[in-house]
């Protein structure tokens, strides 16, 4: 299933596959999340499939760093063990342990 996103308050809820071309659909809503006035933001992965390729990892790292650059704190909720493992293997586990 292609990635989809919905904005619920200060929470971005992702679902589907977080891989390559499927991420185009969630990028615009990710930008809307960063434009919110709240300082505490959350990306909810509890409805996303376990599949996470390098493009999905890059997307998560990019939104995390963009939030920091906007002076905001971004946390991740609902991370599955396979997603956590993919971030750890790629050297980006720190974004979920911050």
User: Does position 74 have pLDDT exceeding 80, yes or no?
Assistant: yes
User: Does position 70 have pLDDT exceeding 80, yes or no?
Assistant: yes
pTM for the full predicted model: 0.92
- The tens digit of pLDDT for each residue in 20-67 reads 988 888 999 999 999 999 999 999 999 999 989 999 999 999 999 999
Q: Phi and psi dihedrals of 27, rounded to 5?
A: -65, -45
- Give the integer Cα–Cα distance in Å for 54 and 90: 8
Percent of the chain whose pLDDT exceeds 90: 87
Q: What is the CATH number of the domain that holds 16?
A: 3.30.750.24
Establish how many alpha carbons lie within 13 A of residue 89's alpha carbon, considering only the half-sphere containing its beta carbon: 10
Residue 72 lies in domain: 4-97
pLDDT given for residue 98 in this prediction = 54
pLDDT given for residue 34 in this prediction = 96
């Amino acid at each position: 299933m292609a990635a989809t996103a919905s904005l619920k308050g200060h929470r971005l809820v992702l679902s589907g596959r977080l891989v390559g071309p499927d991420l185009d659909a969630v990028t615009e809503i990710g930008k809307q999340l960063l434009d919110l006035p709240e300082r505490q933001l959350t990306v909810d992965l509890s409805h996303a499939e376990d599949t996470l390729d390098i493009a999905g990892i890059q997307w998560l790292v990019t939104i995390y760093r963009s939030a920091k650059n906007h002076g905001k704190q971004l946390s991740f909720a609902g991370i599955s063990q396979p997603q956590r493992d993919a971030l750890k293997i790629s050297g980006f586990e720190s974004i979920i342990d911050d």
